[in-house]
Amino acid sequence: MGKVSSRENEILEVLKKRHKLSMTEIITLFDISDSTARRLCVSLEKKEKIIRGFGGIYYSPDVTSLKTEYSYEILEGENAAEKSQIGAFASELVEDGDIIFISGGTTVAQFSRHLAARIQQGLVKKLLITTNSVINAETLAPFTKVLLIGGEYRPQRRDVAGFLSERTIAGVHFNKCFLGIDAIDVDAGLMVFDVETGNLDELVSARTDTKYILADSQKFKKKSFISYSKITPSHVIVTDKKVDPEIVRQGSLNHIKILVV
């Protein structure tokens, strides 16, 4: 086995355990230069062993599954009552003058519907709203100004993502964001099915003071492809009453804020 192949295998072994490695971590852990680290990552990506994304690389046991596991149409009807309850509660967390980002997702779409009603009733004013979701934009635009960022349109998610989306967000700061999630684990963190969603949510989160994760209780029972972030003190998880009390207890022990509504 050549030196390059050996180093690639070493990176993969660490990545399998950590799920994500930043370029800085690769350089430090393996005592290699920036250019060598990038060459190794490019080689591993070509072999479909990893996925390169914002801030680092992700382990890829099955690259072909990335964009086939999410369907907005299917998920829209699942746990609809719980998602509406979460959305209604979360909409009341928005205050006059907030600068917010709203991601895609069926639970977040319910949040947008309830927020639109509050704006229409004059209960909240002077908002600056940015979203990557076509659904959210259509729901909110009749009642307030909305910035729909550019990017590659993804019909299975009814949103946009990718390089152009990330470029739009790079220079912006939000005081609150409301993010959907594909799966969640109090230990593994926040998980999504595809790297583009993880990249954008990670970038938004880094530019937001308080991050609200809107997740119906079923999301705690799923495992997803990419864990893009640990749950930090600046995250607040909003979920429904069907959540396992043990998850809430474990979250509390880990100093994770979980609001059950």
Distance CA 129, CA 191 (A): 24
Contact 50, 57 (CB under 8 A): yes
The per-residue pLDDT for range 148-206, each reduced to its tens digit, is 999 999 999 999 999 999 999 988 999 999 999 999 988 878 988 888 898 999 999 99
> Looking at residue 23, what is its pLDDT?
87
The per-residue pLDDT for range 24-66, each reduced to its tens digit, is 999 999 999 999 998 898 898 888 788 776 567 877 654 444 4
Name the pairing type of β-strands 208-214 and 174-179.
Answer: parallel
Q: Residue 1 pLDDT more than 90?
A: no
The predicted model gives 141-146 an average pLDDT of 96
Mean pLDDT of the chain: 89
- Torsion over CA: 20, 70, 205, 107 (sign): negative
Distance CA 258, CA 26 (A): 33
Name the pTM for this structure. Answer: 0.79
Structural domains in the chain, sorted by start: 3-61 (1.10.10.10), 72-260 (3.40.50.1360)
> Looking at residue 61, what is its pLDDT?
54
pLDDT band at 69 (very low <50, low <70, confident <90, very high): low
pLDDT band at 104 (very low <50, low <70, confident <90, very high): very high
Residue with tokens 């990552």: 41
Q: Cβ atoms within 10 A of the Cβ of 135, count?
A: 21
Q: What is the DSSP letter of 158?
A: T
- End-to-end, the C-alpha distance of the chain in Å comes to 56
